[in-house]
Chains A and B, each alone.
Chain A
């Protein structure tokens, strides 16, 4: 079954360091997303990406964040200078028809980021 994968599953970093979170979306999907979930809170939209450019971003997605699709398979989220409040689970999603037979967003397992 095709699925969205994310690496690493966990990352610990020092405040001020740069981190890159990686995602491999489902291969025939064209729309990609990043969401985050602070522990115990709801899932929040960060950014959507289509045709090699950002289609929409939230207020959370400030200049410290960037996304890239460096090749035909990977989709990355970079945080330039991490802050304590960036600690969260980061979910990648891709949109298309998946195993359910319906078009929807399918989520990866997440990367848990801890900023110390």
Chain B
């Protein structure tokens, strides 16, 4: 069974601080996919990134970076120089390749509040 844990339920930072959101996953599949989605106050789910289990290269996109470590089953997300617009709930999710429907299993989410 697949499981995603986001231990931090809420994080509060001051603008321009760096912040890391933790994600730990469990799966028995050797091929799987990891995702991050952002849910702003308006409620929609915005796709941020997808990583494949066989590609452990870290990725950077502007102020966002992701650190995938298979050895610790973690896929952490760092926002550099946070801004007020980054305030949202962030969800980490997992999809197993062996799963027929490729459903996403979400973590509980981390609410990030960036104060001016």
Contacts and interface: CB of A to CB of B under 8 A. Distances in A.
Nearest to A103: B50
A45 B105 contact: yes
Interface residues of B, number: 21
Interface residues of A, number: 29
B108 to A, nearest CB: 5
Contacts of A31: 101-102
A91 B45 CA distance: 9
Given A44-B106, A102-B50, A107 B101 contact: no
Interface string B65-106: 000000000000000000000000001010000011111111
Per DSSP, are chain A's interface residues mostly helix, strand or loop, or mixed?
strand
Chain B CB within 10 A, most for which of A42, A107, A110: A42
A43 B100 contact: no
B48 to A, nearest CB: 9
B106 A42 contact: yes
A43 B91 contact: yes
Nearest to A48: B101
Interface in B23-70: 35, 37, 43-47, 50
Contact of A56 (B37, B47, B50, B100): B100
B101 A50 contact: yes
A95 B109 CA distance: 22
B103 A42 contact: no
A56 B99 contact: yes
Contacts of A112: 43
A76 interface: no
A53 to B, nearest CB: 11
B44 A104 contact: no
5 contacts: A58-B103, A108-B44, A109-B43, A110-B43, A110-B44
Interface of B: 35, 37, 43-47, 50, 91, 93, 99-109
